Structure 1
Amino acid sequence: MRLPRLALTALVSLALATAAAAQEVTLRFQHFVSPLSANPTYFMQPWADKIEVESGGRIKVELYPLMQLGGKAPSQYDLIRDGAIDGGWVIPGYQPGRFPQAEALELPFIATKTAEEASKAAWVYTQKHLMDDFADVKVIAAHMHGPGIVHKKGGPIARVEDFEGLKLRGPSRPATLLLKKLGATPVGMAVPAFPEALAKGVLDGGVITWEMSPSLKLDELTDSHTDVAGDRSLYNLFFLWAMNKAKYDSLPPDLRAVIDANSGFHASAMAGRAHDIGDAEGRGQMAAAGNALATLSAAETARVRTLGDEVIAEWIDEVGKRGLDGAGLVADVQAAVQITRAPSR
């Protein structure tokens, strides 16, 4: 007995709908650090586990550390955009000048030392200014790491003059601008190359977080670690946790909803909180190794901050020549920082 055409069409539609509902998706996300470092441990893996649970097991997120899927860390954004990987961790600042509005988040003494707070501010600012810049990927989280620390061979930094002539790794254009202003010779470098450059004597040190110190063996490769006084960071770095847009769009609506529910303000805060946890652990491990931990005096920090203000003023002038309202961007970062700070701070 032949089914009427309408009935046959209905059965085919039902079969297709059932297949879609049972669809299983594996998403391959890549990053460039040790799987034991803070963000993979306290953000990426919990995020991946949450996606799997909330999708009823229909989405599996596989995490590939240390660029195991290929490419270089500075190319992460393009790898995601082009679909070479389904998603991953991006440092926009690894491509200097490409995302100039994002640099406002990384200017000296802009962000607080609490990465969770700074990441909430980063999401607010990203929503206002950066979504067009990142329109060719699905932005899941926009976050900051904790305070940048000066790690170097030999004794700690005590005065601004101690920076003079030091070859120091910098992760972003704002960070290298500040290092140059301080009298150091900045060397732009992605995280994976940092330990080898230290071991070979190419660098005297560099700036990076407490939380990355153990995985980079900075307890062995450097002798001292110097922070600035106060509740603002010498510098912070801006990150994206992002997904290939075509891959996201290819998901059925209910699975896109799972990704959406784990994106945005709270995901950004979670990513920042991972760095706060890692900073506490990393600082403890550097102390346990017997390395010198130091904080610049309030007076010396004020001198550094004055130089940082010069960097900000010069940055505003520079991006103004590119048609951007640098002063307005800085003001919006400062406003975002203020509204996302804990009430007691």
Structure 2
Amino acid sequence: MIRILKSATFAFAVSALSLSSAAAQEVTLRFQHFVSPKSANPTYFMQPWADKIERDSGGRIKVELYPFMQLGGKAPSQYDLIKDGVVDGGWVIPGYQPGRFPEAEAMEMPFMVPKNGEEASKAAWIFTQKHLMDDFADVHLITAHMHGPGIVHKKGAPISTIEDFSGVKLRGPSRAATLLLKKLGAEPIGMAVPAFPEALSKGVVDGGVITWEMSPSLKLDELTDSHTDVYGSKSLYNLYFIWAMNKDVYAGLPDDLKAVIDANSGFAAAALAGRAHDTGDLEGRELMAEAGNDIAQLSEDETNKIKALGDEVINEWIEEVTGKGLDGAALISDARAAVQVTEGTAAPIK
């Protein structure tokens, strides 16, 4: 009897130890992105996010960040790499796969969002919750966000009139951006960001549209001569991003570790990501100016001419997606409504 009791006690102790070990399990999550680790989002969003996940989990979750697609694949395939479990999570530009996530394009329309990335990102999350959760149902969506203002960077003199776009070969990051560039008379070339510097150096493009914050890591101080923004508070173009992880990896976490991910998701994470871009924009613009490059802004009149063409892009997009069974007008209306909620809510970056 004593032997049986001892055996039962030992078995219980082993079981308790196993449960304790399971509760204290450590998880390593491999997240991948496609830019320099020194650029704004990895510096001011991804790494702080990873560090906070580790702190909040008591060290039980470690997030490893891999820049430049070091775990394999190309930037346009990032969504599927996450979905298929090739990586545990990462940064995705849905627009790199034109037509796959058409509803997300509403947020990317010309002059849709503020030049402030934090405010644009908050609006993106509001819009995402209403329209895009089903679109991204085969991954675990952590947050969605946008960057700061899209700037025209090019070799030679800055853009000063709408006519200056004529025949200029410009890199475009998304369908919405390339549609606008085409309306402006430019020759748009769709291209993921990692390919942009080489395309510039080899003369494949004369310039492109991208943010201030990406300029230093892409060496645009050396590869371009001028940088042109539009007049006013709205961005010429913007890009919609998601930060996501593999659905099965998330589902396999213990409930308390899922809670750590959840607590660092959604609206607050969107704001943090957008603010990261705003911080980088200030630094990037300053570095381009220090390099002696021309920093220019189009006049209100010239900007209004571009806005008119932007409205054409929006109207044609509404017609196109409505023909595919979506309510294009409602998507644009809801995108604008989300922006109205968040515009003016960001505190200045010191």
* Structure 2 residue aligned with 1:249: 251
Kindly tell me: are residues 256 and 11 of structure 1, through their superposed partners in 2, closer, same or farther at Cα, counting changes over 3 Å? same
Q: Which secondary structure state, in structure 2, belongs to the residue aligned with residue 2 of structure 1?
A: helix
**Separation in 2, partners of 1:87, 1:213:** 26
> Which of 210, 214, 222 is the equivalent residue of 1:212?
214
> Which of 161, 164, 173 is the equivalent residue of 2:163?
161
Letter in 1 for 2:290: A
Q: Compute the displacement of 1:340 (Å).
A: 1.2
> Which of 169, 172, 175 is the equivalent residue of 2:174?
172
Q: Compute the displacement of 1:66 (Å).
A: 0.5
Letter in 2 for 1:183: G
Q: Contact 2:119/2:346 (CA < 8 Å) preserved in 1?
A: no
Q: Compute the displacement of 1:106 (Å).
A: 0.2
**Separation in 1, partners of 2:300, 2:170:** 23
Cα deviation 1:148-188 (Å, max 9, x = unaligned): 00000110001111100011000000000000000001000
> Is 2:236 the counterpart of 1:234?
yes
> Which of 30, 49, 71 is the equivalent residue of 2:51?
49
* Structure 1 residue aligned with 2:332: 330
Q: Compute the displacement of 1:19 (Å).
A: 1.8
> Which of 122, 128, 131 is the equivalent residue of 2:130?
128
Return 5+ residue gaps in structure 2 as ranges: none
Kindly tell me: are residues 343 and 81 of structure 1, through their superposed partners in 2, closer, same or farther at Cα, counting changes over 3 Å? closer
**Separation in 1, partners of 2:310, 2:162:** 12
* Structure 2 residue aligned with 1:94: 96
* Structure 2 residue aligned with 1:275: 277
Q: Contact 2:118/2:346 (CA < 8 Å) preserved in 1?
A: no
Cα deviation 1:51-99 (Å, max 9, x = unaligned): 0011000000000000111100001000000000000000000000000
Q: Contact 2:152/2:208 (CA < 8 Å) preserved in 1?
A: yes
**Separation in 2, partners of 1:98, 1:195:** 26
Kindly tell me: are residues 344 and 243 of structure 1, through their superposed partners in 2, closer, same or farther at Cα, counting changes over 3 Å? closer
* Structure 1 residue aligned with 2:183: 181
The alignment's TM-score, normalised by the length of structure 1, stands at: 0.97
Q: Contact 2:34/2:75 (CA < 8 Å) preserved in 1?
A: yes
> Which of 130, 136, 139 is the equivalent residue of 1:137?
139
* Structure 1 residue aligned with 2:151: 149
Report the aligned-residue RMSD. Answer: 1.5
> Which of 2, 19, 22 is the equivalent residue of 1:20?
22
Q: Compute the displacement of 1:5 (Å).
A: 9.6
Identity %: 73
* Structure 1 residue aligned with 2:313: 311
> Which of 105, 108, 114 is the equivalent residue of 2:107?
105
**Separation in 2, partners of 1:126, 1:12:** 47
Cα deviation 1:216-243 (Å, max 9, x = unaligned): 0001000000000000000000001111
* Structure 2 residue aligned with 1:63: 65
> Which of 118, 121, 128 is the equivalent residue of 1:119?
121
**Separation in 1, partners of 2:253, 2:4:** 34
* Structure 1 residue aligned with 2:300: 298
Letter in 2 for 1:311: V
**Separation in 2, partners of 1:13, 1:342:** 56
The alignment's TM-score, normalised by the length of structure 2, stands at: 0.96
* Structure 2 residue aligned with 1:261: 263
**Separation in 1, partners of 2:300, 2:144:** 31
Q: Which secondary structure state, in structure 1, belongs to the residue aligned with residue 30 of structure 2?
A: strand
Kindly tell me: are residues 4 and 128 of structure 1, through their superposed partners in 2, closer, same or farther at Cα, counting changes over 3 Å? farther
**Separation in 1, partners of 2:345, 2:279:** 21
Kindly tell me: are residues 114 and 254 of structure 1, through their superposed partners in 2, closer, same or farther at Cα, counting changes over 3 Å? same
> Is 2:183 the counterpart of 1:196?
no
Kindly tell me: are residues 98 and 4 of structure 1, through their superposed partners in 2, closer, same or farther at Cα, counting changes over 3 Å? farther
Letter in 2 for 1:123: W
Q: Which secondary structure state, in structure 2, belongs to the residue aligned with residue 187 of structure 1?
A: strand
Return 5+ residue gaps in structure 1 as ranges: none
How many residues are treated as equivalent by the alignment? 345
Q: Compute the displacement of 1:128 (Å).
A: 0.4
